[in-house]
Amino acid sequence: MPSLLILLIVLSGTFTMLLLFYMMLGLGPYLSPYLANGQSYKEFRSRCSFDADKSYWPDWVSSLPDVMNISSLSIPGTHDTMTYTIANSTLQCQNWDLKTQIYAGIRYIDIRARVKNNILTTYHGDEPTGITFERILLTIYDWLDTYPREWIIMRLKEEGEPIGHNNMTFQEVFEDTFNNYYFIKERAKKHWFAYNTSMPIPSVAQLRGRILFLQDFPSTPPWKYGIEWNGPQMMLQDEWIVKDVDHLDDKWKAIEEHFDVTNFRPNNNRHLYAS
């Protein structure tokens, strides 16, 4: 069993999914004509699954010992978490909404946002999901208020240049969301994990009830809001291009090799391993 945080990106043809902690989310309603069971897509069978709604683990973190470091855990998560609304099969990576994913046990989410008319809205490339960053935060806050011993890790990536009419940068809109949005600002004080680069990776207890950001966007000063996504604390395996569905096992092999690497690295709370 891996001893460090693993973010497992799995590609099924043109669809991308993410496994952490032996779990997999995938594609669903839009693919229903092709799905014979939870492990097949267009008659191709793999270790991917499409039935996260069958899992119900809304509070599994609650039972973990406070003293554990999150870097000692294998954490379930999804890639391009918000793409369940996208009809384009090349860009849709998930088939379940954020609440379903979280209640299934997902504790790492991958959020790709762009500034559009001074609002952070999630995208995959140039394809909008129609879901704002504010809506994502409210979904998480509602869950954390119900299960205050839980937490979530969020990669937040700037997914391209601003669109529409804007007079704020990505960083400014990010801060504006927390400081000035009526339904966010008071709750953010409770659920924000205030990370700085001098801090160690947090323990389970330190993170309870909060969101830890993996920052994948520029800011002044740098890495003001969370752990640098492509920085020295992150060990990434990101072979995200798979030739076709028949080569899906190539990605699984890369993931398994990354698991093996983590087993031989010291568990010293210095790194998060992402695959």
CA 67 to chain centre: 24
Using alpha carbons only, give the angle 100, 150, 184 rounded to the nearest 5 degrees: 75
Q: Of the listed 124, 191, 258, 271, which one is catalytic?
A: 124
Dump strand ranges (E) for the chain: 8-12, 15-19, 40-41, 44-45, 77-78, 108-116, 119-124, 127-132, 152-158, 211-216, 227-228, 234-236, 272-274
Q: Is residue 108 within 8 Å of 7, Cβ to Cβ? A: yes
H-assigned helices in 116-218 = 133-146, 170-180, 185-191, 204-207
Q: Could you report how far apart the first and last alpha carbons of the chain are, in Å?
A: 15
Catalytic residue status for 79: yes
Residue 223's CB is within 10 A of a number of other CB atoms, namely 18
In angstroms, the CA 117 to CA 89 distance is 27
Q: Count of residues for the chain?
A: 275
Catalytic residue status for 124: yes
DSSP class of residue 163 equals: B
Element (H, E) at 34: none
Residues known to be catalytic = 79, 124
